[in-house]
Structure 1
Amino acid sequence: MTRCWTGLLLLALAGCGSAPPSLEYYLLDNTGAAQALPVNANRTAVSLLPLLLPDYLRQDGLVMQVAPHKLHVSRRHLWAQSLASSLSMALLRDVNGSDSQYVLRNLAEPGTAEAPYQLKVQILHLLIDQQSNIQLEARYWLLDSNESKTLRTGAVQSSLPLEEDGYGHAVAKMREAVAILSRDIQAQLSTLETSGQGL
């Protein structure tokens, strides 16, 4: 009987001795805060409205599709900041990096005045799928702030294969997918410039 109790005690102590799994945090845009661009009379401002995200992307954990209709939100692999904030910073950095006649401003930042044009972005999916791809699906609208009129709409659906294992590589591929979305938005903004609809 003593051996049984000793064995149980050793098992209990062994269970207490193991450390819980460590948490790992990831940055979508690891290049620092988006640069505030100086106001330039030659560049028309476009307000970036707060991003629309599905509930599963408002979680702290990275998301993986584990079955056709089932998602898993990681409890160990987490975003270092809210995904909405990270996506906004990435879009600002990418779109403002071009040589166009517009500048994208984050309307969610304090002190940002509303611009004559607005950009509304809805992220439908941003996840690792069952086939080891990063899936990004998004829609966006370019709006005239004064007339509440839609000037352009766009949609992006990209699938980028993962060449390596690990969440770090998956996050880097997610950033590439966001850059694809940014280029599509830049292209739509440039059509406004050439069509004379504004900008």
Structure 2
Amino acid sequence: MNVQVRLAGYLEQGGIVYQLSDSEMHNARQHRWAEPLAQQLRRSLHAGLSEMAPPNGGQLTVQLSQFQGVRSLAGDRAIIRGVWQYNAGGAVTRTGQIDWQGPLTGDGYAGLVETLDQGWQDVAHRITAALHTDGS
């Protein structure tokens, strides 16, 4: 299966993103992804899908609108939001929403990265389950 990951523009700047309020985003200068985020997420998603035996062939496209930490009085959390689309034989055969969030598993950026990784693995499981449930 071919996998593509597309990011909202503000996520492509290399730094880990932390939302400080409804109107303020912080793109870290010192805490950066080891490689371009879309490439890293694509490789991780492809590996996760391969382990779970998704349908052969086709094209999975994931468009992420959020992949970040969010500061909150109720406790900081990680959020992953977007949509996915699976095409086979030149036609869209499956679509779905991505709406994942979870409390940070540790402090600081290391805790955020660990939580986002766990969330991304969960997203891969959910996409694979949706592909199998829908009969492909």
- Whether TM exceeds 0.5 here: the answer is yes
The correspondence of residues 126-165 of structure 1 with structure 2, limited to 5 A, is 126-131=67-72, 132-144=76-88, 146=89, 148-165=90-107
Task: Say which of 47, 52, 56 aligns to 2:2.
Answer: 47
> If you compute each CA radius of gyration, which structure gives the higher value, 1 or 2?
1
Letter aligned with residue 43 of structure 2: M
Partner of 1:42: none
TM-score (norm 2): 0.90
Distance 1:177 1:101 in 2: 19
Q: How many residues were matched structurally?
A: 133
Distance 1:151 1:123 in 2: 19
The correspondence of residues 28-47 of structure 1 with structure 2, limited to 5 A, is 46-47=1-2
| Bigger mean CA deviation after superposition, 128-137 or 154-163 | 154-163
How has the CA–CA distance of structure 1 residues 78 and 101 changed in structure 2, closer, same or farther, with 3 Å as cutoff? closer
**Structure with the largest fraction of strand:** 2
1:96-125 deviation per Cα after TM superposition (whole angstroms, max 9, x unaligned)? 111x3635xxxxxxxxxxx4x211110110
Distance 1:181 1:140 in 2: 10
Distance 1:162 1:101 in 2: 29
The correspondence of residues 113-132 of structure 1 with structure 2, limited to 5 A, is 115=57, 117-131=58-72, 132=76
- The DSSP-based 3-state class of the residue aligned with 2:6 is coil
- Regions of 4+ moved over 6 Å: none
Question: Residue 69 in 1 paired to residue 23 in 2?
Answer: yes
Letter aligned with residue 63 of structure 2: Q
How has the CA–CA distance of structure 1 residues 163 and 185 changed in structure 2, closer, same or farther, with 3 Å as cutoff? closer
- The DSSP-based 3-state class of the residue aligned with 1:52 is strand
List alignment gaps of at least 5 residues for structure 1: 1-45, 104-114
Letter aligned with residue 47 of structure 2: R
Question: Residue 179 in 1 paired to residue 121 in 2?
Answer: yes
Partner of 2:55: 102
1:135-164 deviation per Cα after TM superposition (whole angstroms, max 9, x unaligned)? 1102101112x3x32111111211110142
Letter aligned with residue 189 of structure 1: L
Distance 2:12 2:67 in 1: 11
Distance 1:96 1:135 in 2: 24
